Amino acid sequence: CWKILHNMTPEAEELKLQAFPLDQVDGIFVRSVKNCIFSESDPTPLKGPLRLVAVSKEVIEGMLGLDVAVSQSEDFLQYFSGGKLFPGSSPLTHRYGGHQFGYWAGQLGDGRAHLLGEYTSRKGERWELQLKGSGKTPYSRSGDGRAVVRSSVREFLCSEAMHFLGVPTSRAASLIVSEEAVWRDQFYNGKVKKERGAVVLRLATSWFRIGSLEVLAKAEELDLLRKLLDFVIQEHFPSIDSNDPGKYLIFYSRVVNETAHLIAQWMSVGFAHGVCNTDNFSLLSITIDYGPFGFMEAYNPNFVPNTSDEEGRYSIGAQANVGLFNLEKLLEALTPFPFSSKYYDQLYHSRFHKLFKAKLDLLGEEEEDEYLIAFLLKLMEETGADFTMTFRQLSEASMQQLHNIYFCCLVERNKPFTSEMIKLSTGINPRYVLRNWMAESAIRKAEGNDFSEVELLQRILAQPYLTQDAAEEAGYAAQPPWWAQGLNVSCSS
């Protein structure tokens, strides 16, 4: 922890504090906040005995440059559960707004998250350290500022799993649970139950999101909007010349391009975010704010992981269109600097087809490639084929086996199917993803203080392309068990 203290960069946080006016109102009571980007707000310590139940060695050692043994100290438990503050630390909570399910929701903000500061690794990489579930803030609205074990397990496991799938994402360093009672109506049906509080230590290069700019535009705080834009460009888009009069156009074009690429990557692994609101879309085009996400099992473009999404606005097949909607809302926030997002569709479809060609390892550029991909997906939809395992099993099959299956007979009516054209690879198509039933199985045990399956999943999902005996024994590549039928995930956490 002293190494963390040494590498926390107060000058970076001081830069934020100098660049932007802070909330002039003290206290953590809920309020409408104006003319600032951040409010100062200390975490609220978790009550009861604390227990470190998961830690990412890859994050602690690979990103922070620490010995993972530091996580076993009492100081680590206290600093990263909100019980202690680093000397000189001024934790911040971020003011942002957002369009939720298509409608402007007004001020939202960090309702249960605290930015501890910026950490510089020995490789010179800078990471913003944030606690999630660390107590009330001025942005908590009617919430209690806490997160519970089930949602925290899901966030910890999925952010790490997405990283090892090669998808840009925030990271999770640790998961600490307590005996503090947290009351939740999980499915909004009036059945409130007692759960336990938990805090995730998560990292990202930045937590700014589309809603960070939207709230300033809606409040007509245009000077602050320009300051934030300039700060984001200077700090996170160094290839953009800050003196270029067209810098905002270049910035916006970069966000359009990278958002299209990110959503195409989600699609390539069958990932549905579940709550694609503008407040959950990073300006740096990384996956953030894991809530009621889901990995698609049987291929279905209408797959909706979130039971709160009754209209299916954020179905997996709608994610590309939602991305465009969110970019258009970003564009509205930038109306003082008008330009267009007309190339988004082209960028998304280009990236989508490139990724799915890689999943099928189609070589060269053939006019029929697009048809082949569409044909396969339609066939999978009609037959209810498992998304992950269909591509994986094609990867593992021999050419003779492929020629003997019905799929190839159908395809060859329209396109020759040769070993020169297709060479399937298990290095692109994962065997294991964090299916809801797998997360639910680990959560049920965790709620009884058995975190063994959390540890197992963390280990398995760190090598999703490698066939592993422990994973096969647990059935992680098999059909879901009978009890998993009808599993639901909601926004409640």
Instruction: Map out the domains of the chain as residue ranges.
Output: 2-208, 211-348, 362-424, 436-484
199 forms beta bridges with 176
The backbone torsions φ and ψ at residue 210, rounded to the nearest 5 degrees and listed phi first, read -55, -40
Selected catalytic residue, list 110, 279, 289, 386: 279
Reported pTM: 0.92
Contact 170, 155 (CB under 8 A): no
The backbone torsions φ and ψ at residue 231, rounded to the nearest 5 degrees and listed phi first, read -65, -45
The backbone torsions φ and ψ at residue 399, rounded to the nearest 5 degrees and listed phi first, read -60, -35
- Phi and psi based region of residue 309 (left: phi greater than 0; alpha: psi -120 to 50; beta: remaining): beta
Cβ-Cβ contacts under 8 Å for 147 (sequence gap 6 or more): 112, 132, 133, 155, 182, 197, 198, 199, 200, 493
Query: Could you give the 3-state DSSP secondary structure of residue 180?
Result: strand
Q: Give the residue ranges of the chain where pLDDT is below 70.
A: 1-18, 337-341, 398-426, 492-493
Task: Report the run of H or E that residue 52 belongs to, with start and end.
Answer: strand 51-55
Do β-strands 171-184 and 193-204 pair in parallel, antiparallel, or remain unpaired?
antiparallel
- Phi and psi based region of residue 228 (left: phi greater than 0; alpha: psi -120 to 50; beta: remaining): alpha
Cβ-Cβ contacts under 8 Å for 319 (sequence gap 6 or more): 263, 266, 267, 272, 273, 276
Whether 230 is catalytic: no
**Cα torsion angle, 164, 121, 210, 342, sign:** negative
Q: What is the pLDDT of residue 2?
A: 47
Q: What is the pLDDT of residue 179?
A: 94
Contact 133, 199 (CB under 8 A): yes
Contact 411, 372 (CB under 8 A): yes
Nearest Cα neighbor of 65 from 15, 19, 123 is 123
